[in-house]
Amino acid sequence: MQVIEKKAEDVDNDAHRAKSISEARSATAAFPGLISDILGVFREAYPPHIIATIAFWGLSHAGGPQGFSTTGIIKDVEQHHVELLQALLLTLDADEWGREPASALQIQRVIDAILALTTAFHRRRALQLETFADDSDRLAVALVQERVRDYTQMVRNWSTHSEMLSIVRAIHAPLDALFEAYHGYSASDLIDVVGALVTLQQERTSGHFKLMKDIFSARTKKAIVHGFFARFEGVEGDPGAFLASLPKRARLRDVKTMLHCHADRWLVTYMCVEPAVLARRMGKPAASIAKIFHVLGLEPGSLKESNPEHLFLANPIWSAPAMKIGQEFTFFSPQGIVGFLPTILRDLFRQADLATQLEERRAVYLEDELATVVGSVLPSAALRSNIKWKWQGVEYETDLIAVIDRVLLVAEAKSGALSTGALRGGPRSARDHVHRLLVAPAEQSGRLRDILLAGRSGEPNALDVVTGLNLGIDPAKIDYVLRLSVTLDDFSALSSAQADLKRAGWLAEGTDLPPTMQLAELRTVTDILDDPATFLNYLSSREAIQRGLSVFGFEHDFLGAYLQSGLDLPEIVSGTHKGIFRNMSLAIDRYHMSVEAGYAPEKPKPLIDPYIANVLVSLRKLAKPGWLSKSIALLDAVPPGHCNDLGGLLDDVAVQVSRNWQDPDHRGTLALCGPGRRAAAMFHIFPETSGRDMSQELALLAENAMIELETNTCVVIARAVERWNLPFVATAIMRLDESPSPSTGRRIPIVSCPRG
């Protein structure tokens, strides 16, 4: 993990602004030419060969014993680049296409142009922001819109391939009969076809790599050339004549490059799929497969009237990813279809006049899955779903409350879908979706949280509501009320944008957003953080870090940052910095890719100090009242990544206690606190032979630690030198009153523990 700090005084804002405007103007000027360059190459050489080559190498990931790379073999080429190339191709009629295979130089020209084009589209929008530079209100709204547009333009899959198929199938399968009555095939049929397309493509791609690797394993030019001519399908001619045509000093590497270029001409054949081929693999009628293919296909020239600028934020390829010429279908990147299945199916359900049924099904599914996933990570929790309650004469309903130990989790499920207008960043649509999917559930869960905490303090009206909820816990014993919002559509571009949304006026100043994540992201979080303490501490940390500053990141990046830092970074928690979390999900991405490929990699884990991990395990096993509250506070006080030898530090203190315990001023206490000062941890070491009652002394020491460390929560861990094999002999969690009285007694040394 790298933290890069840029101080305001080190940045020349005027120079940076001038440079950005200059780049935006250059991008605007270059934009039409870049499109012309791509279309020009398409007219010179056979474009399906060009796109197939770029898709094959750009979207393939190298793998090995250590797992898979998270980047494609062609640097910087991503799914959205291939989609844009396909859309540009379909603005031409087939008779405008070049006929000869493309040269390596022509393919590189297209790669360079498409990378420059997508960058230009992004930069030229800075000119619009510049027009609002002196209007802070409009600028704030425009910046929120840009978050959505960037996400729409560049981010694709919202989970792993298998997870996406599983979720989409579970949502739509119960409506198969109604869907099939209109379309002639079921929603499950379409999902199965897409899954089979991906599998077929993977088999063909893998087969190509294995064949080429086997052929090129030979050590001589002659053996490689003869092997290529004999084994590579479609190659004709005399290998001897080919060898004779080579320059005398041709290197082995040059020969391999030539053969690779020739092999690339056949990549497009891997992407051509006949309905009959898939029908035989799936055991389904070819007519049904063909019908689905036609729904997913667009013909050359069909986008002739499209404005190229609209292809970035509303690409028809997203809904119709196949290129069809008569009965021939080409899928350049079938893996990309899976992420768009919800949108494709939503349109098809609307055509069948089944939109209402689908909305109802999505709501039921999400609420059920929310309870299932939360129950899996909090197995001992009491779950209450769809709870109705009244406050000030108004009835409300909370989707889920989980009660475990002295901790409550209030969760809301929002199954609403994002409209195309919102995805393009339209202010009215985007604001409406922000309110329905982010603000409304945040207000709902925030209202109940405040009532629960007021009930804990004994406020009569709030206490009546809490008592009526029948949660099975004494309101006075509630330690934590945590919140969570879960959606079906991916809303991660805005889920952490609390500060930006407030500046835009889309979120009231008094409202804080809970962690808001898509269902698949919640499954990932609970898979990686499969312990109640780390899961709930993550939710608490997520809400805390976005509460008071501008922070940008996707859920997997936040999760990756939590594994390494507990999301407790002094550079961020100071409130004076903007935070951007990038590339923090790499370990999680590699883990998922390896699992998808059939490997059993080690799961990424939080970098928790070994001694702290031992304490957490013991607290969970004993499960005495307050165990989870203590665990959450302990992770707040000693976050992952902030300590790696606490056991050694405590050993040193224990040695001193054993020698000097009769000295009234001996050092027997160690206090720690994370940068965010969310809680303190006090470790008290004592000899049982002293026979002293420690309870009052520990309370004074804990109060002293909280005042010294400027926090209102302290978890106390007491250890006896005679039973040093135990992680603790007693634990407690303490809090300062809102107006604590000045404490007396000796001060304890505050020790800063180095980050691991």
**Pick from 28-42, 122-136, 507-521, 559-573: least confident:** 122-136
Q: What average pLDDT does this structure show over 473-491?
A: 91
Q: Which residue has the higher pLDDT, 145 or 87?
A: 87
* Confidence label for 501 from pLDDT (cuts 50, 70 and 90): confident
Residue 581 has pLDDT above 70, yes or no: yes
Question: Which residues on neighbouring strands pair with residue 730, listed in sequence order?
Answer: 718
Is 734:703 a contact under the CB 8 Å cutoff?
Answer: yes
pLDDT digits (tens, 9 = 90+) for 630-675: 999 999 999 999 988 999 999 999 998 888 877 776 778 899 998 8
Position 3 scores a pLDDT of: 62
Q: Above pLDDT 90, what percent of the chain?
A: 59
User: Element (H or E) spanning 711, and its range?
Assistant: none
As a whole number of angstroms, the distance between CA 687 and CA 685 comes to: 7
CB atoms within 10 A of CB 666: 16
Backbone phi, psi, residue 402, to 5°: -110, 130
CB atoms within 10 A of CB 607: 20
Q: Which residue has the higher pLDDT, 724 or 575?
A: 724
Q: Could you give the count of Cα atoms lying within 13 Å of 445 in the half-sphere of its Cβ? A: 28
pLDDT digits (tens, 9 = 90+) for 27-57: 778 889 999 999 999 999 999 999 999 999 9
Position 756 scores a pLDDT of: 31
* Confidence label for 682 from pLDDT (cuts 50, 70 and 90): very high
363 contact partners, CB below 8 Å, separation of at least 6: 413, 415
Residue 110 has pLDDT above 90, yes or no: yes
As a whole number of angstroms, the distance between CA 475 and CA 457 comes to: 8
Q: Which residue has the higher pLDDT, 258 or 597?
A: 258
Position 145 scores a pLDDT of: 66
**Pick from 53-57, 362-366, 662-666, 701-705: least confident:** 662-666
The conformation of residue 60, written as its DSSP 8-state character, comes to -
Residue by residue, DSSP assigns 229-243 as HHHSTT--S-HHHHH
Q: Distances in Å between the alpha carbon of 575 and those of 136, 503, 545, 549, 554?
A: 21, 16, 9, 6, 20
pLDDT digits (tens, 9 = 90+) for 457-473: 899 999 999 999 999 99
* Confidence label for 479 from pLDDT (cuts 50, 70 and 90): very high
* Confidence label for 312 from pLDDT (cuts 50, 70 and 90): confident
Q: Above pLDDT 70, what percent of the chain?
A: 85
Position 64 scores a pLDDT of: 57
pLDDT digits (tens, 9 = 90+) for 433-455: 788 888 889 999 999 999 999 99
* Confidence label for 138 from pLDDT (cuts 50, 70 and 90): low
Is 291:187 a contact under the CB 8 Å cutoff?
Answer: no
Pairing of strands 407-414, 669-673: unpaired
